[in-house]
Amino acid sequence: MSLASLSAEDAGDTPAASSRAGHAGAGDRRRRARLVLLALAGLLVVVALASLSIGAVGVTLGDYLHARLFGGEIPLRDRLVIEVIRLPRMVLGMLVGAGLAVAGAVMQGLFRNPLADPGLIGVSAGSSLGVAAFIVLGSTVLSPVSALLGFHAVPLAAFAGGLAATFCLYRLGQSQGQTSIATLLLAGIALSAIVFACVGVLIFMADDQQIRDLNFWQLGSLAGATWEKTLAAAPLILASLAGARLMAGGLNALFLGEAAAGHMGLDVERLKTAAIFCVAGAVGASVAVAGGIGFVGIVVPHLLRLLMGPDHRYLLPGCALLGASLLLVADTVARVLVAPAELPIGIVMALVGGPFFLWILLRRKGLIAGV
């Protein structure tokens, strides 16, 4: 209840209040944040249309739309390329990008540290163990589970793995309300090592086809996106996005630390639990369908904080929009760079995100040294 009450306000948002507060303040930043959100929405539309039109096979989107909307002839091949290959891939890419970026922002708000990225500190690793277990054991030991849950089984397994990892990290990284990013990173290294050992055991047990599946999935790719995969990931990711938006006010209160947020009436424990579920849901589902795509969760929130400030009421929707756009761009680049073959998108994101992360480190060395 306190979450809602903290997020419901938009205090002093009237022009009168803003002008009384001395002009140059946060009012301008909020106005700018709204403009940035609008621009990001526009960008996403453009990028989405581009990702539908661009690809190894030349299909004119205009012809397709015209044929579908007003009736007309279009080659079956073109129709299938759009509807069966590119459209699910576009939707999946948007979901994964939005999920990863928002999960990053939520995690950074929760840990009160702009460097906390689900990929860096081992949440994705936890999820990947769940997925690997299903790839290798799905038809044998875990077959009752897959029979019960159908195509939702893999995302849910990834969710469970991510959840376990996030709870561990929270226990390890948190002491007296402060998070040490050094502890988090070290805990992430240890968790990842444990996970890779377990994945190693699974690989040892796997047959050739399973090893190929594992390997390709680990690189991170939207290739092989189907409507089934998209539907499997969508509920978890959409629920996490909605949950994150409800937490915006609470995450804002956490700017001041857990004690002060508590004094302001926030149920901090409930917020933390909700945030952890949210991160695990978005990351787990993304990892399940798209493998290890790194740096989205750190690049997108960081850029947006520079553009619109850290207010989560704007930051989280912004992350969803920009994350979706970024992933679509990266995926389109991955598809056309070496067409007709394609690069795994995880490689593209690492090539872009890695240097970006180093740039953040150069700019803000104190972030690690200070805590």
Partner 1 sequence: MFHFRSDEKAATASAWTGDRNGLAVRGLGVTLGTRRILHDISLSARVGELTAIIGPNGSGKSTLLKAVTGEHAHDGEALLASVRVSPDNRRRLALMRGVLAQHTSVAFSLTVEEVVRLGVSVRGAHGPDAAMSVAEALEAVDLSGFAGRDYLKLSGGEQQRVQLARVLCQVGAPVGPQGPRWIFLDEPVSSLDIKHQLWVMRFVRDFAKRGGGVVAVMHDLNLTAMFADQVVALRQGRVHAAGTPQEVLTRALMSELYDCDVPVGEAPRDGSPFVLPHGARVSPGT
Q: What is the closest distance, in whole angstroms, from the C-beta atom of residue 29 to partner 1 in the complex?
A: 7
The number of beta carbons lying within 10 Å of the beta carbon of residue 245 is 17
Q: Is the Cβ of residue 234 or residue 298 nearer to partner 1 in the bound state? A: 298
Count the residues of the shown chain that bind partner 1, applying the rule CB under 8 A. Answer: 43
- Binder among 6, 121, 136, 322 for partner 1 (CB under 8 A): 6
284 is a contact residue toward partner 1 (CB under 8 A):
no
Q: Does 311 participate in binding partner 1 (rule CB under 8 A)?
A: yes
Min separation Cβ 253 and partner 1, Å: 6
Q: What are phi and psi of 179, to 5 degrees?
A: -110, 130
Position 254 contacts partner 1 (CB under 8 A): yes
Q: Does 11 bind partner 1 (CB under 8 A)?
A: yes
- Owner of token pair 């279009």: 74
Among the listed residues 192, 210, 221, 252, the single contact to partner 1 using CB under 8 A: 252
Q: One symbol per residue from 140 to 169: x for binding partner 1 (CB under 8 A), - otherwise; what is it?
A: ------------------------------
Binding window for partner 1 (CB under 8 A); candidates: 139-147, 167-175, 229-237, 265-273: 265-273
For residues 269 and 177, what is the distance between their CA atoms, to the nearest angstrom? 11
Q: Which of 63, 78, 213, 267 binds partner 1 (CB under 8 A)?
A: 267
SS (H, E, C) the chain: CHHHHHHHCCCCCCHHHHHHCCCCCHHHHHHHHHHHHHHHHHHHHHHHHHHHHCCCCCCCHHHHHHHHHHCCCCCHHHHHHHHHHHHHHHHHHHHHHHHHHHHHHHHHHHHCCCCCCCCCCCHHHHHHHHHHHHHHHCCCCCHHHHHHHHHHHHHHHHHHHHHHHHHHHHHHHEECCEECHHHHHHHHHHHHHHHHHHHHHHHHHCCHHHHHHHHHHHHCCCCCCCHHHHHHHHHHHHHHHHHHHHCHHHHHHHHHCHHHHHHCCCCHHHHHHHHHHHHHHHHHHHHHHHCCCCCHHHHHHHHHHHHHCCCHHHHHHHHHHHHHHHHHHHHHHHHHHCCCCCCCHHHHHHHHHHHHHHHHHHHCCHHHHCC
Q: Determine contact, residues 310/113, Cβ cutoff 8 Å.
A: no
Residue 370 backbone dihedrals phi, psi, to 5 degrees: -75, -25
Residue 325 in contact with partner 1, rule: CB under 8 A: no
Whichever of 52 and 308 has its CB closer to partner 1, that residue is 308
Least distance (Å) between residue 1 CB and partner 1: 7
Residue 21 engages partner 1 in binding (rule: CB under 8 A) = yes
- Regarding 369 and contact with partner 1 (CB under 8 A), the answer is no
Check residue 14 for interaction with partner 1 (CB under 8 A). Answer: yes
Q: Which two tokens stand for residue 172?
A: 């390890």
262 touches partner 1 (CB under 8 A): yes
Min CB(129)–partner 1 separation in Å? 30
Q: Is 112 in the site for partner 1 (CB under 8 A)?
A: yes
Applying CB under 8 A, which part among 18-26, 40-48, 89-97, 227-235 lies near partner 1? Answer: 18-26
Q: How far is the CB of 206 from partner 1 (least distance, A)?
A: 43
Tell me which of 27, 122, 291, 294 binds partner 1, using CB under 8 A.
Answer: 27
Among 15, 23, 71, 340, binds partner 1 (CB under 8 A): 23
Secondary structure class of 221 (helix, strand, coil): coil
Q: Stretches 37-45, 166-174, 257-265, 350-358: which one binds partner 1 (CB under 8 A)?
A: 257-265
Instruction: Decide whether 59 or 106 has the Cβ nearer to partner 1.
Output: 106
> Which stretch, 25-33, 153-161, 215-223, 229-237, contacts partner 1 (CB under 8 A)?
25-33
Please tell me whether the peptide bond between 340 and the residue prior to it is cis, using omega within 30 degrees of 0.
yes
Q: Tell me which residues touch partner 1 (CB under 8 A).
A: 1-2, 5-6, 9, 11-14, 17, 20-29, 109, 112-114, 249, 252-257, 259-260, 262-267, 305, 309-311
